[in-house]
Amino acid sequence: MPNRSMRKESAPVADAASAEISDTALIARICAADPAAFETLYKRYYPKLFRFSLRMTRRLDQVEEIINDVMYVVWKKASSFQPETRASTWIFGIAYKKCLKSMAERAQAEHLELSDAEALIPGVHDRGLKDVELEDWVAVAFGHLPPDQRAVLELAYHHGLHYQEIAQIMDCPENTVKTRMFHARKKIKALYPDLLADTTAESLGNAL
Amino acid sequence: MNTEAPSPYANHDQVSLLLPWYANDSLDAAEREQVAAHLRVCLSCRQELAGQAALAKRLRHDPLLEISAKPSFERLMRRIDADAQAPVHRQSPPRGKTAWLADWIASLTDFPAKPRLAAVAAAMLLALALPLLLTATPPGGQPAYHTVADAGSLDRFTRDDLRVVFADQATKQDIDRLISAIQGKIVDGPSPAGVYTIRLAGGGAVEPALAQLRGSQSVVFAEPALPQAAKPGQGG
């Protein structure tokens, strides 16, 4: 591990230029203890990690600690990054483990059975549910999924990742990712049958 | 010979598992075509896909919160700085190939904390064993102990050689980078005790190279392979 006891002073990476520097190039500079490159990578990943950690843990008070734990590992272990891997896969892999650790420490890895979930959501079978703000709807839906299913949904649908990359991040077989997604879909569909049953001619035509 | 193409409906279960990734447009061309062919004949998968596409759209554009990264980054850098300034001896000793070194150092530093009886027992054991140690010759006539630079083998070293033990957690990249930084190359090792011999290119200055190695967390031991001559102007 490189010695980072004496960080180099270097010029900040200008915002315009930083957009052109790849994550991998920034990590290479972090290997040489370059704080400007680290700051650029930190700011680039902060919103992504913020969102992912919040979705996973659903604890706003834990999010900053998790992000900084993740980026601390990035700073300390930059030299162990394998350039063949996508930087985002490496960083999200660290984040996933930190989220699980945080939840385990706080006994947050709750799992709600469907029958319990339905009882706790007022009007889940009401027609009026379509009027519910969709952001609330998604948040409630996520709250009733176990963390591994939340992670798959978030990584696939918000970050647009392929199941192979999600499997790398979660350190599990690809079929496990598909199965987790299948169960998440099934659970959400059971909770919100009307919202996901978009069977209009237009939407069905767009499916192809 | 059966020349009929397989029914696109035959792989319903397999395709059903791929629908979320069809919805997020991340499938490769072959998988995408497989799903598209199935969707043309399967109404239930088309319904499922429409629902998943709606969920994907909501999640993709869900903004959550916008919070400035700056204060968090500053807190992290304070943590990193504090960590860098923490005394090295508080860290856990490395195990594995350098465990012997850590154990030896620990045995020296922990000794006052041991019960006095243990010290007395050790002294008695040493008194009993010392005559045997002084007179006995191990099989083969070779000493049964090793130092990092065995006496009698020093003639294979030059004044530009360093003896180095790397930490267990040091990767090959770390080691290569360190050696490159001091313009050296590995000429021997690792020995069974994990010792490398590194030769400085072109008669490089030993002291700065040692200082650089000793300042790295990847190095647990770095010494000249040969005793260094006193510098002009130094006493003794």
| Tens of pLDDT, residues B2-49 | 556 666 667 898 999 999 999 999 999 999 999 999 999 999 999 889
pLDDT of B22: 94
Q: Is A8 on the interface with B (CB under 8 A)?
A: no
Q: b vs e for A28-45, b when ≥16 Cβ sit within 10 Å of the residue's Cβ?
A: bbbbebbbbbbbbbbbbb
Residues of A in contact with B167 (CB under 8 A): 1
Least confident range from A65-79, A91-105, B44-58, B159-173: namely B159-173
In chain A, residues 141-160 whose CB comes closer than 8 Å to chain B: 153-154, 156-158, 160
Torsion on CA atoms B30, B31, B32, B34, rounded to nearest 10? 90
Enter the ipTM. Answer: 0.73
Assign a CATH topology to domain B157-224: Alpha-Beta Plaits (3.30.70)
Q: Is residue A23 predicted with pLDDT exceeding 80? A: yes
- Under the banding of pLDDT at 50, 70 and 90, the label for residue A126 is very low
The mean pLDDT value for B216-222 works out to 80
Residues 6 or more apart whose Cβ sits within 8 Å of residue B73: A39, A42, A43, A46
pLDDT digits (tens, 9 = 90+) for B68-99: 888 999 999 999 988 877 665 444 433 443 44
At B173, the pLDDT band (50, 70, 90 cuts) reads confident
pLDDT at residue B51, rounded to an integer: 86
CATH class held by domain A1-109 = mainly alpha
Residue A161 contacts B where some CB pair is shorter than 8 Å: yes
CATH class for the domain made up of A111-198: mainly alpha
| pLDDT reading at B216 higher than 50 | yes
Name the strand (E) or helix (H) holding A131. Answer: none
Q: Which of these, A136, A144, A157, A59, lies nearest to A100 by C-alpha position?
A: A59
| Average pLDDT score, chain B | 70
Residues 6+ apart with CB under 8 A from B217: A1, A2, A3, A5, B88, B167
Q: Is the pLDDT of residue A111 over 60?
A: no
Where do the domains of chain A lie?
A: 1-109, 111-198
Return the higher-pLDDT residue of A23 and B85. Answer: A23
| Residue A60 scores a pLDDT above 90 | no
Partners of residue B36 in chain A, C-beta under 8 Å: 208
| CB pair distance less than 8 Å for B73 and A156 | no
What integer pLDDT is reported at residue B209 of this predicted model? 87
Give the angle subtended at the CA of B53 by the CAs of B47 and B59, to the nearest 5°.
145
How many CB pairs (< 8 A) connect A and B? 146
Q: Please give the share of chain A, as a percent, with pLDDT higher than 70.
A: 69
**Is-cis flag, bond preceding B190, omega within 30?**
yes
Residue of B nearest to A194 (CA): B51
Contacts of A31 in chain B (CB under 8 A): 177
Q: Check pLDDT > 70 for residue B148.
A: no
Looking at per-residue pLDDT, the higher value among B178 and A20 belongs to: B178
Pick A198's closest partner by Cβ from B18, B25, B54. Answer: B54
Question: Which among A1, A68, A156 is the nearest to B218, CB-wise?
Answer: A1
Q: Find out whether A167 and A177 touch, Cβ atoms under 8 Å.
A: yes
Choose the weakest-confidence range: B62-66, B184-188, B192-196: B62-66
Q: How confident is the model at residue B147 (pLDDT cuts 50, 70, 90)?
A: very low
Residue-wise pLDDT tens digits, B98-134: 443 344 334 433 434 444 444 545 555 555 555 544 4
Instruction: Locate the domains of chain B by residue range.
Output: 12-61, 97-131, 157-224
- Cβ of A54 within 8 Å of Cβ of B173? The answer is no
Interchain CB distance below 8 Å, B84 and A195: no
In chain B, what percentage of residues exceed pLDDT 70?
A: 58
Name the closest residue on chain A to residue B66, using Cα atoms.
A47
Token pair for residue B72?
A: 């968090």
